Amino acid sequence: MVNPVLLIVVPLGLAFTVPLFGFISKKTVKYIPVVAMGFNLILSLLLIPRVLEHPLVLSIGGFPPPFCINLTVGPLGILLSAVIALIGFLVSIYAMDYIRKGSVEKYQMLYILLLVGATGAVLTGDIFNLFVFFEILCISSYALVAYFGDSLGVEAAIKYLIQGAIGSTFMLLGIGLLYGMFGTLNMADIAKNIKLQNSIPISLFVPLALFITGMGVEAAIFPLNSWLPDAHSSAPSSISAILSGIAIKIGVYGVVRVMFTLFGMPSIFHLLLFIGIITLLIGELAAFGQTNIKRMLAYSSIGQIGLIVFALGIATPYGISGGLFQILSHALSKALLFLAVGYMIYRTGSMDISTFQGIGRKMPLTSLAFTIGAFSLIGLPPFIGFPSKFLIVRAALAKKEGILFIVLIFLVLFATIIEGAYFFRVIQVLYFKENKENQDKKDAPFSALVPLIILTVFILFIGIYPKPVMKLLRLASWELLNKMDYIKWVLGAG
């Protein structure tokens, strides 16, 4: 019988054995993350049919739910852990050849532990356990951003660390206030004690604000995102792909879990709408004026997170499915973009866009991958970005609340046009300019091309045929909207 605890425990055990393998032979160390993430991917895909019938609730230690820690594996949890396993697996294949300097053994350990933290955070059903796994994720990413040890990386890492540490302290304060008021740490139990009223009293609003601020630092929503451009552009490219593709989504998951399952009152969802739109506009406008390609991609990540938060704030089944689908599509596209850019930077030696002139002819497969990723992010038809953005706009149109939503949809389309503008500018430099210096560059090595090709296949396949994913997304959005069902699964009869 497959048990979802193995999704967290087996990679953790493999991470502990990496130094022991390092004593035997240094070469086997880079295969261990591939094995761990492959196991996770297979296990999550095997668990999806079981979870679709009935969500699994497991207790750790054998005691009944409010008196122990429990894992609540619902459709949302298994969807996110499958995405994490897929992207982790592909980037670990890429990193087998990309990471050569520094202490490679320690990189592999930190990489596995980052993904263990992410998987644990989406599967758990206890709020202090969410804090602990969130800290595992954040602390590994502080260490990985400074991995190369150059001056840019260290500066980005120290600023990220200070802001992240303040954020997690705020989250701990929120947990303390909730424990003092309700006397329990289980998410379903706290949700049972918070009645669904229309307006929220101040004594409950303060823990909610502390949670949004604390997890919002990791999610990079509007006033708290000044660490992101530095961190995602100074990290090694494989880590940038993981940070943009997975780590910031876990921050959004935390905010959404607290807002929908713990609190769940309809008057607070408008907050998410406004934060989302402001973040979207700031991200896209700032990306338009960048000349450093990784910084441009980092600002584009901020914009996409704004779009995801906006979609989740619409709080109807279509809106939340659209937001979750956008999480999947952005993770795939942004990982593809960062992995392609990684080797382009390595061959030309600089991150400035003007030095990429004419690479389209010398590194054809890599540039094709970049182009496909860019088209998918903008939302052009045969790729995965199109159904996800279409679903979001349709959800916003269906919510007939007057002129406000029409204005918001206009702003979303305006941001999409700006995205198209800056990506087309880069593609023009890649293919249509000539440069004598880049005449003799070879394409990326085989172990880097394999993940690029697999990601492209996924983007095309789900873009053309999104039906199998839609069922899972619809069940996940029902899970978020119905707080009472969640309480009934975990605690028996509500």
Closest distance between other proteins and the C-beta of residue 180, in Å? 4
Rounded distance, CA 141 to CA 151, Å? 17
Q: How far is CA 212 from CA 222, 290, 435, 455, in A?
A: 11, 29, 48, 32
| DSSP code of residue 72 | E
If one asks whether residue 140 binds other proteins (CB under 8 A), the answer comes out as yes
The three-class DSSP label of residue 352 is strand
Place of tokens 């792909």: 241
Please, which residues have CB within 8 angstroms of residue 115's CB and are 6 or more apart in sequence? 11, 36, 37, 40, 84, 85, 88, 242, 246
Q: Judging by beta carbons within 10 Å of its beta carbon (0-12, 13-18, 19+), is residue 107 exposed, middle or buried?
A: buried
Please say which residue, 176 or 381, places its beta carbon nearer to other proteins. 176
Query: Residue 17 or 428: which CB sits closer to other proteins?
Result: 17
The residue whose two tokens read 């089944």 is 317
120 versus 322: smaller Cβ distance to other proteins:
120
Q: Which of 48, 143, 345, 450 binds other proteins (CB under 8 A)?
A: 143
Residue with smaller CB distance to other proteins, 6 or 450: 6
CA distance 83 to 77: 10
Does 2 participate in binding other proteins (rule CB under 8 A)? no
| Residues whose CB falls within 8 Å of the CB of residue 310, separated by 6 or more in sequence, listed in order | 272, 273, 276, 277, 280, 323, 392, 408, 412
Residue 185 touching other proteins (CB under 8 A): yes
Please choose, out of 28-36, 111-119, 247-255, 301-309, the segment that lies near other proteins by the rule CB under 8 A: 111-119
Among positive and negative, which fits the CA dihedral 164, 170, 175, 176? positive
Distances (CA, A) of 469 to 94, 322, 357, 381, 476: 26, 12, 38, 17, 11
Q: Which residues between 402 and 441 bind other proteins (CB under 8 A)?
A: none
Structure token pair of residue 84: 């994490």
- Which residue, 68 or 464, has its beta carbon nearer to other proteins? 68
Contacts (Cβ under 8 Å, ≥6 apart) of 481? 260, 315, 317, 320
| Chain residues 280-319 in contact with other proteins, contact rule CB under 8 A | 295
CB of 227 to other proteins, least distance (A): 11
b/e map 44-53, b = 16+ CB within 10 Å:
beebeeebee
Q: Does residue 345 belong to the site contacting other proteins (CB under 8 A)?
A: no
Q: Which of residues 10-29 bind other proteins (CB under 8 A)?
A: 12-13, 16-20, 23
For other proteins, the closer of residues 300 and 371 by Cβ is 300
DSSP 3-state helix, strand, coil percentages of the chain (rounded to 5)?
80, 5, 15
Among 118, 136, 372, 472, binds other proteins (CB under 8 A): 136
CB atoms within 10 A of CB 139: 18
Interaction residues for other proteins, span 348-387 (CB under 8 A): none
HSE-CB of 240 using CA atoms within 13 angstroms: 33
Q: Is 157 in the site for other proteins (CB under 8 A)?
A: yes
Task: State how far the Cα of 179 lies from the Cα of 199, in Å rounded to an integer.
Answer: 22
* For other proteins, the closer CB: 75 or 229: 229
Span from 204-212, 262-270, 402-410, 442-450 in contact with other proteins (CB under 8 A) = 204-212
Among residues 72, 243, 66, 223, the alpha carbon closest in space to that of 147 is found at 243
Nearer to other proteins, 217 or 363 (CB): 217
Return the closest-CA partner of residue 428 out of 466, 374, 390.
Answer: 374
Q: Is 152 in the site for other proteins (CB under 8 A)?
A: yes
Positions 222 through 261 that interact with other proteins (CB under 8 A): 229-230, 233-234
Stretch that binds other proteins, among 7-15, 347-355, 373-381, 387-395 (CB under 8 A): 7-15
Does 110 contact other proteins by CB under 8 A? yes
Least distance from C-beta 147 to other proteins, angstroms? 6
31, 39, 106, 353: which one binds other proteins (CB under 8 A): 106
Between residues 289 and 402, which has the closer beta carbon with respect to other proteins?
289
Of the residues 2, 42, 46, 60, which one makes contact with other proteins according to CB under 8 A: 60
Give the helix/strand (H/E) hosting 58: strand 56-60
Span near other proteins by CB under 8 A; candidates 65-73, 241-249, 361-369, 445-453: 65-73
Residue closer to other proteins (CB basis): 115 or 473: 115
Q: Which residue shows structure tokens 């052009």?
A: 380
String of contacts with other proteins for each residue 437-476, x by CB under 8 A: ----------------------------------------
**Which of 31, 38, 155, 474 is in the footprint of other proteins by CB under 8 A?**
155
- Shortest approach of other proteins to residue 208 CB, angstroms? 11
Closest CA to 172 of 135, 224, 225: 135
